[in-house]
A and B are shown apart, each in its own frame.
Chain A
């Protein structure tokens, strides 16, 4: 199907030699398992047995009608995503504005704000588990502030916000880097012209800077949505999904279904639903922010 006209075998061969290895690994590691997953999602396979029984839409029916834990994990993950995306971008953009001004320590500060990103989510979760359990109570005793004296990881509400805090702490430095790159690409003439015309800093920010760097928002929102929606490591080590499964993300739910309950068929069906949700969320987001980019 390459070219119907004249097939130049030498160039086909060199195409295969260069593109083949990447395509091969990609097919074997991602695409074939993905297609197998679609198939297994219609079976009652337990992961061990050699007999794989076809059950049709049984798994999907069960997930949609009779799986409150999965439903709750979905609601939790969506709520978490909204809060996490909002705060990490707000803080990240704030940092970028702050460090784009002529501060003497700005290079050092960029490094510091970025540090949490180089540590994996798993270890960050353990670090913060210690902070919430022992560190906050020490700060609470020192300062007497009730904010620090709550049972952070033991309560459903605060455990949710605990995860949001840690996620924002980790990700906002990364977002800052992208926003700074965008701010540095701005045409300073436009900003100076607006200043001369007497526009306030706030007006310039809302009416000029933000519309001009909308592509950066598209990227940052895309990244944070997919990171927050797929949260696993941080969640495993910080709350383990507790208390009472209240902070169990979809990714953890799928993992447990497959590898702890040994219901691979059901687990893959959940993972297909998860895939569709991620694809839909990110497509809608990219489409809707891209549309605004054109208008601006």
Chain B
């Protein structure tokens, strides 16, 4: 519906902008109070700061060892993404290209696990993880994300591959290309749009995840960003000045990531939910 820009549209626009401002007010509070002294926060949380105290940030940066936590989160997110993309794209392609009862049942098996809540597997997983020696280590956590990432990512690849024409693959096969080369050289590049979606969804989930890292990573130097920020909060519950600076440091990386990629992210979410 390409409507003309009428008075009514203008009113709607103003309304939408007002809602957006209300939507952003929580961030205003956090930002403004993160550079205030503790006493100033208590007097009036809504007021503009009298002077900007960046010392809150310096203290928090050191206490939670921000570079370390950032690095841990980054390594975990990137490695998990690579693994999930590799294993699920391969599996989905093979399953789509080998039609039959077995592939169909296997697909249902994978996808139906999406209704298993994390709480249902976490207790035995910690026991099993202890036996396998994958607890309290970053590689162990990454391997767990491989497992948890399979159902949704495989589902998305599966849906997408069904729309990819098979002719090019067949031509390559006739030319003598083996299966791995067909997949990695010809099919995988064609899957780029859905790979972007898969990576975005998994990045937001893994970067922000709290409970699994909390259970798996016990050593302080392995902590991810959410763990570091929360440990800080638990210790200084009412120390709002430092707590808010910790929150700002915690949310800044993912907000920057979003602002750079927002078009892809919003498109990816939409195509990920409506196949």
| A positions within 8 Å CB-CB of B | 1-3, 11, 14-15, 18-19, 21-23, 25-26, 28-34, 36-37, 40, 47, 95, 98-99, 101-106, 109-123, 126-128, 130-131, 134-135, 137-139, 141-142, 169, 174, 177-178, 180-182, 185, 188, 191-192, 215-216, 219-220, 223, 226, 230, 232-233, 236-237, 250-251, 254-255, 258-259, 264, 267-268, 271-272, 274-275, 278-279, 282-283
Contacts and interface: CB of A to CB of B under 8 A. Distances in A.
A236 B86 CA distance: 34
Nearest to B238: A133
Given A230-B118, A255-B119, A255-B211, A131 B251 contact: no
A101 B12 contact: yes
Contacts of A29: 121, 125, 143-144, 146-148
Contacts of A110: 266
Contact of B125 (A33, A117, A169, A215): A33
19 contacts: A18-B93, A19-B91, A23-B91, A25-B87, A29-B121, A29-B146, A36-B127, A102-B3, A102-B4, A112-B20, A114-B266, A115-B23, A120-B209, A126-B243, A127-B251, A135-B45, A181-B271, A182-B274, A264-B127
B211 A21 contact: no
Contacts of B93: 18
Interface stretch (B49-57, B59-67, B191-199, B225-233): B225-233
A230 B120 CA distance: 11
Nearest to A254: B119
Given A26-B150, A118-B254, 13 more contacts: A28-B128, A33-B121, A101-B12, A120-B208, A123-B251, A130-B29, A134-B33, A178-B269, A226-B115, A232-B210, A250-B119, A274-B117, A275-B120
Most buried by A among B26, B123, B148, B258: B123
B208 A119 contact: yes
A230 B25 CA distance: 27
Given A113-B20, A181-B274, A274 B120 contact: yes
A216 B273 CA distance: 8
A15 B226 CA distance: 39
A29 B148 CA distance: 7
Contact of B274 (A14, A112, A216): A216
Secondary structure class of chain A's binding surface, majority of residues? helix
Contact of B226 (A117, A123, A216): A123
B48 interface: no
Contacts of B174: none
Given A118-B258, A181-B273, A282-B115, A264 B87 contact: no
Contacts of A141: 44
A47 B128 CA distance: 11
Contacts, number: 274
Nearest to A213: B274
Contacts of A99: 16
Query: Sorted from nearest, which 3 A-B pairs have the closest CB atoms?
Result: A29-B147, A120-B208, A18-B94
Most buried by B among A25, A110, A219, A233: A25
A236 to B, nearest CB: 8
Contacts of B2: 102
A36 to B, nearest CB: 4
Contacts of A3: 100
B15 interface: yes
B110 interface: yes
Nearest to B2: A102
Contacts of A32: 124, 128
A272 B120 contact: yes
B230 A102 contact: no
B106 A19 contact: yes
B270 A19 contact: no
B116 interface: yes
Contact of B211 (A37, A98, A232): A232
B180 to A, nearest CB: 8
B75 interface: no
A237 B147 contact: no
B274 A219 contact: yes
A185 B154 CA distance: 25
Interface string B247-275: 10011001101110010011001110110
Nearest to B229: A123
B233 to A, nearest CB: 6
A271 B126 CA distance: 14
A219 B273 contact: yes
Most buried by A among B113, B120, B209: B120
A34 B274 contact: no
